[in-house]
Chains A and B, each alone.
Chain A
Amino acid sequence: MPKINLAVYWTAACGGCDVAILDTQEKILQVGELANIVLWPLATDGKYADLDKFKSGDIDVCLFHGSIRLSEQEAMARLLREKSKVLIAFGACAAFGGIPGLANFHRREEIFHRAYHETPSTSNPNGIIPETQVRVPEGTLTLPEFYDQVYSLDQIVPVDYYLPGCPPPVHLIEAAIDAIATGELPPKGSVIAGDKSLCHECPREKQEKKVQGFKRPHEVMVDPNRCLLEQGIICNGPSTRSGCGARCTTVNMPCRGCFGPAPEVLDPGAKLVSSTASIMDANDEASVAEMIGTVVDPAGLFYRFGLPSSMLQKKRQGGKVS
């Protein structure tokens, strides 16, 4: 069997997805046998020019991690889409916007103001902020444009498969490698993970859910066997896709939703509002209000890994007439 051409690329991401690929340990050797790695900035030396040499569709599989914030990232997403037969949104950032997507709670101007003027470590007496073009005596220097919001990969180019997780767990990466090796790929658009909610695979014991208030994980001694929601710890499990093996809830940490919404969930925030509200032991407006007060930062909690791909996508700017 001829070797396939494999590209691995990152945009707005932390690099944890690259490490997750290396975490496959000896399986990585199979990748070497299976594929010519034509681009992988973390592990190999590669330049834009190398990519230009490929004809459209020459790359068999591209694992793309990271969300899109800069014009350069958008250009690379388009280029890799054109050159690749199969484009996989690898990890929560590419698939749903991920942690960088939380920046959609702020406008570009607010982010620049904070980063280049306000932070205690910033010394910027001339108030310089990055521009896409700067004229210097030697000529014009350019930088990529910083967009007003963060996008998931599929908001920029069509995506063939999604491999969610922050980062995707090794057993799913191995399943994907095996599927590529044998050519037995699922239908396009598939999410390579479970098809139920996390609660289905979470081993914790579930009983009657009725809580008097909500606590954050560091504020309580967690009972290792009982459902976290029953202990008043908000867990995103009910609206999150299964397939991770409950790797957080088995170590006493609540789910934060890095596998994205479960099938049929249109907006994880809306569903988590429902599931959180439904376990409150409150029957009048005053006690409801008191209990809701113990939910810290609901939007940031419910959209932790998927604000750009949620229904409202980003904070409305002022909400007033523009």
Chain B
Amino acid sequence: MNTNFEPKIVGILCNWCSYTGADLAGISRIKYPANIKIVRVMCTGRVDPTFVLKAFQQGADGVLVSGCHPGDCHYVDGNVKAMRRAPLVTELLKQMGIEEERFKLVWVSASEGEKFAKIVEDMVSDLKKLGPLVPVGGAVKHA
């Protein structure tokens, strides 16, 4: 296996808790792998599964969605909507040959900078073990 493999992770974080939590990790100068590219959304309830599939289609090795803890959603229950979708997304991805470690939904509050850093660290190490996601290949045979 290629030991120099650096996984590409797309992080989709909610504005109110997890983005602030990631920011806290930064201002607290906690070190964590730079493999994650963060996209801020207002709420995990806004995360259409299309975003997740598109990330994988375009070459992500993993997708991390993170929101407020259940009960703490700024919009009352946006994260519950994400919670209902996530296991079905995982099932769909598994059938498409994408391992469950590659898609995660986690809860990180604004005060959990350390937790966020740990989650990213663990995910990077899991993905390094799995290796890169083989590109879809022959996407369009000859257009």
Which residues of A approach B to under 8 Å, CB–CB?
68, 74, 105, 147-149, 151, 155-158, 266-267, 269-271, 273-274, 276-278, 280, 282-285, 288-289, 292, 295, 297-300, 302, 311-322
**How many angstroms from the CA of A299 to the CA of B1 in the assembled complex?**
30
B33 contacts A by Cβ under 8 Å? no
Judging by beta carbons under 8 Å apart, are B97 and A316 in contact?
yes
Using A280-B84, A315-B96, A319-B97 as known contacts, say yes or no to A269 and B140 having CB atoms under 8 A apart.
no
What are 22 sample pairs from A and B whose C-beta atoms fall under 8 A apart? A155-B141, A158-B143, A266-B50, A269-B53, A269-B92, A270-B48, A270-B52, A270-B89, A280-B84, A282-B84, A283-B77, A295-B91, A299-B91, A311-B50, A311-B57, A312-B56, A312-B57, A312-B98, A315-B96, A320-B131, A321-B1, A321-B132
A312 and B138 form a contact (CB under 8 A) = no
Question: A315 touching B83 by the CB < 8 A rule?
Answer: no
Does the CB pair A298–B130 fall under 8 Å? Answer: no
A-B CB proximity, top 10 nearest: A316-B97, A299-B95, A270-B49, A321-B131, A277-B84, A270-B50, A315-B97, A277-B85, A273-B49, A292-B87
Given A155-B141, A266-B54, A322-B134, CB of A273 within 8 Å of CB of B95: no
Residue contact B50 to A319, C-beta cutoff 8 Å: no
Residues in A with CB closer than 8 Å to B54 are 266-267, 311
Contact with A along B110-143 (1 / 0, CB 8 A): 0000000000000000000011111010111111
Smallest CB-CB separation from A291: which chain B residue? B84
Is the CB–CB distance between A316 and B98 below 8 Å?
yes
Q: Which of A273, A284, A314 contacts B88 (CB 8 A)?
A: A273
Q: Given A149-B138, A155-B143, A274 and B85 touching (CB < 8 A)?
A: yes
Note all chain B residues with C-beta closer than 8 A to A292: 87-88, 91
CB-defined contacts of A317 to chain B, threshold 8 Å = 97, 134
* Interface, chain B (partner A; CB < 8 A): 1-2, 5, 48-50, 52-54, 56-57, 70, 77, 80-81, 83-85, 87-89, 91-92, 95-99, 102, 130-134, 136, 138-143
The listed residue (A288, A297, A300, A316) touching B84 by CB distance below 8 A is: A288
- Cβ contact within 8 Å between A288 and B92: no
> Which of B1, B102, B140 has the most C-beta atoms of chain A within 10 angstroms of its own C-beta?
B140
| A273-B89, A292-B87 known; A319-B56 Cβ under 8 A | no
CA of A177 to CA of B43, assembled, Å: 49
- Distance in angstroms from A114 CB to nearest chain B CB is 17
Question: Is B136 within 8 A of A314, CB to CB?
Answer: yes
Least distance between B51 CB and chain A CB atoms (Å)? 8
Cβ-closest chain A residue relative to B52: A270
Measured between beta carbons, the chain A residues less than 8 angstroms from B89 are 270, 273
How far does the alpha carbon of A267 sit from the alpha carbon of B93 in the complex, in Å? 13
Assembly CA distance A289 to B90 (angstroms): 11
A311 to B96, CA, bound (A): 11
Q: How far is the CA of A259 from the CA of B99 in the complex (A)?
A: 30
Across the interface, which residues of B come within 8 angstroms of A315, CB to CB?
95-97
If A284-B70, A285-B83 touch, whether A311 touches B134 (CB-CB below 8 Å) is: no
Q: With the chains together, A295 CA to B85 CA distance in Å?
A: 12
Assuming the A-B contacts A156-B142, A270-B53, are A318 and B85 also in contact, with contact meaning beta carbons closer than 8 angstroms in the complex? Answer: no
Chain A residues with CB below 8 A from B80, complex form: 283
Please give the distance in Å from B7's CB to the nearest CB on chain A: 12
Separation of A282 and B87 alpha carbons in the complex (Å): 13
State the Cβ distance, A146 to closest chain B Cβ, in Å: 14
With a 10 A CB-CB cut-off, give which of A151, A288, A311 has the most chain B CB atoms: A311
Contacts of A276 in B (CB 8 A): 88
Distance of A297 Cα from B94 Cα, bound (Å): 11
* A-chain residues with CB within 8 Å of residue B96 when the two chains form the complex: 299, 312, 314-316
Q: A280-B84, A292-B91, A311-B53 are in contact. Are A156 and B48 (CB under 8 A)?
A: no
Q: Write the nearest CB–CB distance from B76 to chain A, whole angstroms.
A: 12
Given contact pairs A277-B85, A288-B84, A300-B95, A319 touches B53 in the complex (Cβ within 8 A): no
CA distance A314 to B91 in the complex (A): 15
Determine the distance from Cα of A133 to Cα of B58 in the docked complex, in whole angstroms. 37
Whether the Cβ atoms of A277 and B88 lie closer than 8 Å is: yes
